[in-house]
Amino acid sequence: MRVRPISPDLLVTELAERLARTGTPGRLRVALDGPPAARPDALAEALVDPLRAAGRPVLHVRAGDFLRPASVRLEHGRTNPDAYYESWLDEPGLRREVLDPAGPDGSGRLLPSLWDAAADRASRAAYVDLPPGGVVLVSGALLLGGALPFDVTVHLVLSPAALARRTDPALRWTLPAFARYADEVVPASFADVVVRADDPRRPALVEAA
């Protein structure tokens, strides 16, 4: 393996070009996986316009809009790292409302958000039709451990020291969950694209030698 330093702008350009070239039956389902400190949502947002310019319709879905209700999510407390790791994300809902409809035999009728975690109620979002050839970008944390059906996976990885340094103090209770994810799932070993994101100004692509 080799690590190739790259600028943030060039990273977006290369990822967009790769995704624009990737063909699948129907629509392309892309995971942008990483802890909040790696800013996967921001990377997804940056990819939207280049992909549209390349002729690919795009929908960006945030995993944070597919959390379980507080009664389930916070059953073991508000700062339980094991619950955060195992049960915060509503994987069945994400699959039912986004990934399956975007799949080869899917309808293309996607729900961009399911749950408003701040208000703790359904988001009441309207369905969106993503045409064949479209790309759905799903961004968020801990996306690659549950066998969700993605066509392309991008994993943003930080060293433990960088993750601890860059994580908001209010979210440092999540650090054991990310350590567990790295040990049990090892997403950097199988993701299609691995980006080292210790310094947001100086990312690097991990590539086969």
Comparing CA positions, the residue from 129, 136, 133 lying closest to residue 44 is 136
Task: Give 185-198 pLDDT, tens digit per residue.
Answer: 999 999 999 999 99
- N- to C-terminal Cα separation, the chain: 5
| Strand 135-140, strand 2-5: pairing | unpaired
Comparing CA positions, the residue from 52, 114, 124 lying closest to residue 89 is 114
pLDDT on residue 60 = 98
% of the chain at pLDDT higher than 70: 100
State pTM to two decimals: 0.96
Looking at residue 25, its amino acid is P
Question: How does the average pLDDT of the chain come out, rounded?
Answer: 95
CA distances from 209 to 3, 45, 153, 197 (A): 9, 30, 20, 20
- Contact partners, residue 166, CB within 8 Å, separation at least 6: 37, 158
With 80 as the cut, is the pLDDT of residue 209 above it?
no
With 70 as the cut, is the pLDDT of residue 157 above it?
yes
